[in-house]
Amino acid sequence: MSLDPRRVLVTGAGGRIGRAVLALLADRGIGATALIRSESDHDAVSSLGADRVRAGDAGDPATVDAAITDADAVIHLAARPSPNEGTHVEVFSENTRATYVVLDAAARHGIRRASIASSYAVGGLPFATKPLAVPYVPLDAAAVLQPTDPYALAKRTDELTADMFARRDGMSVVAIRLPFVGSGDDKLAAQADRLAEDPAAGASDLWSYLDTRDAARAMFAGLHAALPGAHVVYVAAPDVLSPLDTDALLDAHHPGVPRRHRFPGRQVPIDLAPAERLLGFRAEHTWSWER
Determine if residue 211 is left, alpha or beta; phi over 0 gives left, psi from -120 to 50 gives alpha, anything else beta: beta
pLDDT at 243 over 70: yes
pLDDT at 40: 85
Distance CA 90, CA 19 (A): 24
Closest CA to 207 of 125, 290, 117: 125
What does the domain layout of the chain look like in residue ranges?
7-183+207-238+269-279
3-state helix, strand and coil shares in percent for the chain, rounded to the nearest 5: 40, 15, 40
The single-letter code of the amino acid at 176 is: I
For 239, list phi and psi in degrees, rounded to 5.
-120, 165
Closest CA to 134 of 262, 260, 267: 260
Task: Evaluate whether 209 touches 287 at the Cβ level (below 8 Å).
Answer: yes
pLDDT at 65: 97
> What is the share, in percent, of the chain residues with pLDDT greater than 90?
92
Task: Look at 45-49, 116-120, 209-213, 263-267 and tell me which has the smallest mean pLDDT.
Answer: 45-49
What's this model's pTM, rounded to 2 decimal places?
0.96
Arithmetic mean of pLDDT over the chain: 96
pLDDT at 118: 98
Closest CA to 233 of 241, 221, 242: 221
Average pLDDT (132-156) is 98
pLDDT at 64: 98
pLDDT category of residue 1 using cuts at 50, 70 and 90: very low
pLDDT at 184 over 80: no
- What is the number of alpha carbons within 13 Å of residue 112 lying toward its C-beta? 11
pLDDT at 148: 98
Distance CA 282, CA 218 (A): 8
The single-letter code of the amino acid at 237 is: A
Please name the helix (run of DSSP H) or strand (run of DSSP E) that holds residue 233, with its range, or none.
strand 230-234
Query: Which residues, other chains included, contact 163 with Cβ-Cβ below 8 Å and sequence gap of 6+?
Result: 173, 230
pLDDT at 197: 97
Beta bridge partners of 270: 139
Query: Which CATH number is associated with domain 7-183+207-238+269-279?
Result: 3.40.50.720
pLDDT at 236 over 70: yes
pLDDT tens column, 27-85: 999 999 999 998 888 998 899 989 999 999 999 999 999 999 999 999 999 999 999 99
**Residue 204 DSSP label:** G
CB atoms within 10 A of CB 248: 13
pLDDT at 2 over 80: no
pLDDT at 44: 87
pLDDT category of residue 291 using cuts at 50, 70 and 90: low
Q: Produce one character per residue of 2-34: b if its CB has 16 or more CB atoms within 10 Å, e if not.
A: eeebebbbbbbbbbbbbbbbbbbbbeeebbbbb
pLDDT at 39: 87
